[in-house]
């Protein structure tokens, strides 16, 4: 089930804030003084595609994006046709890439907190979507990952 949303309706203040935060993180990797060693290059090569996929997913979700679990629309196209929660997947990869690139080894422990939170949120969202869309959501869920 998809509805047509104009591109201008997808660009919200929160979307712009998210985009700026990601640009700052990627800029920190690019502009950081020092040599481009293996860790920096590896992290950069993880972070940039993750950022692209993150904002692709965010764009595809459109007005269905919310901070709290809500069931406005069941988005099943684009990245959502393969991954139920691409924003969680690619945001974790983005953070991983940035932290690797900046060589903040101990900061990687942040992922030990972030990933369980995202899994919990995904389960909460799944309950809300299943309550609203029933069998349509269950069928969609069977054909997708996370």
State the DSSP code for 78: G
Task: Look at residue 72 in the predicted model and tell me its pLDDT.
Answer: 84
List the end-to-end C-alpha distance of the chain, in Å, as a whole number. 19
Task: Measure the CA–CA gap between 129 and 71, rounded to whole angstroms.
Answer: 5
**CA torsion sign, 115 to 120 to 124 to 126?**
positive
Task: Look at residue 8 in the predicted model and tell me its pLDDT.
Answer: 58
Over residues 62-75, mean pLDDT: 83
Q: How do the domains of the chain map onto residue ranges?
A: 11-142
Location of structure tokens 């809300």: 128
Over residues 36-41, mean pLDDT: 97
Task: Measure the CA–CA gap between 118 and 93, rounded to whole angstroms.
Answer: 12
E strands in 8-139: none
Task: Look at residue 7 in the predicted model and tell me its pLDDT.
Answer: 57
């Amino acid at each position: 089930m998809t509805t047509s949303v104009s591109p201008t309706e997808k660009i919200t203040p929160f979307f712009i804030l998210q985009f700026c935060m990601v640009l700052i993180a990627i800029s920190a990797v690019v502009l950081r003084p020092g040599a481009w060693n293996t860790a920096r290059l590896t992290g950069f090569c993880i972070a940039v595609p993750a950022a692209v996929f993150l904002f692709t997913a965010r764009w595809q979700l459109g007005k269905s994006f919310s901070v709290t679990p809500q069931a406005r629309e069941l988005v099943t196209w684009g990245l959502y046709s393969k991954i139920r929660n691409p924003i969680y997947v690619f945001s974790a990869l983005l953070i991983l890439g940035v932290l690797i690139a900046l060589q903040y080894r101990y900061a990687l422990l942040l992922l030990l907190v972030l990933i369980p939170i995202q899994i919990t949120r995904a389960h909460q969202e799944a309950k809300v979507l299943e309550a609203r869309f029933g069998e349509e959501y269950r069928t969609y869920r069977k054909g997708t990952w996370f």
